[in-house]
Amino acid sequence: MKKNEAKLKGLNNWLGKLGTSGFGKCIRCGREININRLLFMPESNHCISCAK
Protein backbone atom coordinates (compact mmCIF):
# COMPACT_ATOMS: atom_id res chain seq x y z
CA MET A 1 0.00 0.00 0.00
CA LYS A 2 2.70 2.44 1.00
CA LYS A 3 4.71 1.44 -2.04
CA ASN A 4 1.79 2.17 -4.33
CA GLU A 5 1.39 5.59 -2.76
CA ALA A 6 5.04 6.35 -3.43
CA LYS A 7 4.64 5.16 -7.00
CA LEU A 8 1.62 7.38 -7.54
CA LYS A 9 3.41 10.33 -6.04
CA GLY A 10 6.40 9.70 -8.28
CA LEU A 11 4.18 9.38 -11.31
CA ASN A 12 2.49 12.66 -10.53
CA ASN A 13 5.89 14.23 -10.12
CA TRP A 14 6.87 13.10 -13.61
CA LEU A 15 3.56 14.20 -15.06
CA GLY A 16 4.16 17.64 -13.61
CA LYS A 17 7.44 17.76 -15.50
CA LEU A 18 5.89 16.63 -18.76
CA GLY A 19 6.83 18.99 -21.55
CA THR A 20 9.71 20.48 -19.57
CA SER A 21 13.40 19.75 -20.08
CA GLY A 22 13.49 17.96 -16.75
CA PHE A 23 11.10 15.24 -17.81
CA GLY A 24 12.59 11.77 -17.76
CA LYS A 25 15.97 13.02 -16.64
CA CYS A 26 17.99 12.01 -13.63
CA ILE A 27 17.94 14.80 -11.04
CA ARG A 28 21.55 14.07 -10.14
CA CYS A 29 23.44 13.67 -13.42
CA GLY A 30 20.82 15.00 -15.85
CA ARG A 31 21.00 11.99 -18.12
CA GLU A 32 17.85 10.49 -19.54
CA ILE A 33 16.37 7.73 -17.43
CA ASN A 34 15.49 4.50 -19.22
CA ILE A 35 11.78 4.64 -20.03
CA ASN A 36 11.17 1.17 -18.63
CA ARG A 37 12.72 2.20 -15.33
CA LEU A 38 10.59 5.32 -15.33
CA LEU A 39 7.44 3.29 -15.80
CA PHE A 40 8.26 0.55 -13.33
CA MET A 41 9.83 2.77 -10.70
CA PRO A 42 8.32 6.24 -11.10
CA GLU A 43 9.13 6.94 -7.45
CA SER A 44 12.79 7.05 -8.38
CA ASN A 45 14.07 10.19 -10.06
CA HIS A 46 17.60 8.91 -10.46
CA CYS A 47 19.06 6.93 -13.33
CA ILE A 48 20.35 3.42 -12.75
CA SER A 49 23.94 4.55 -12.20
CA CYS A 50 23.00 7.21 -9.65
CA ALA A 51 20.55 4.97 -7.80
CA LYS A 52 23.31 2.53 -6.82
Binding footprint of Zn ion on the chain (CB under 5 A)? 26, 28-29, 47, 50
Least distance from Zn ion to the Cβ atom of residue 20, Å = 17
Per-residue exposure over 19-33, b if at least 16 CB sit within 10 Å of its own CB, e if not: eeeeebbbeeeeeeb
The nearest distance, CB 44 to Zn ion, in angstroms, is: 10
How far is residue 16's CA from residue 49's CA, in Å, rounded to a whole number?
24
In the bound state with Zn ion, the residue whose beta carbon lies nearer, of 7 and 31, is 31
- Closest distance to Zn ion from the beta carbon of 4 (Å): 25
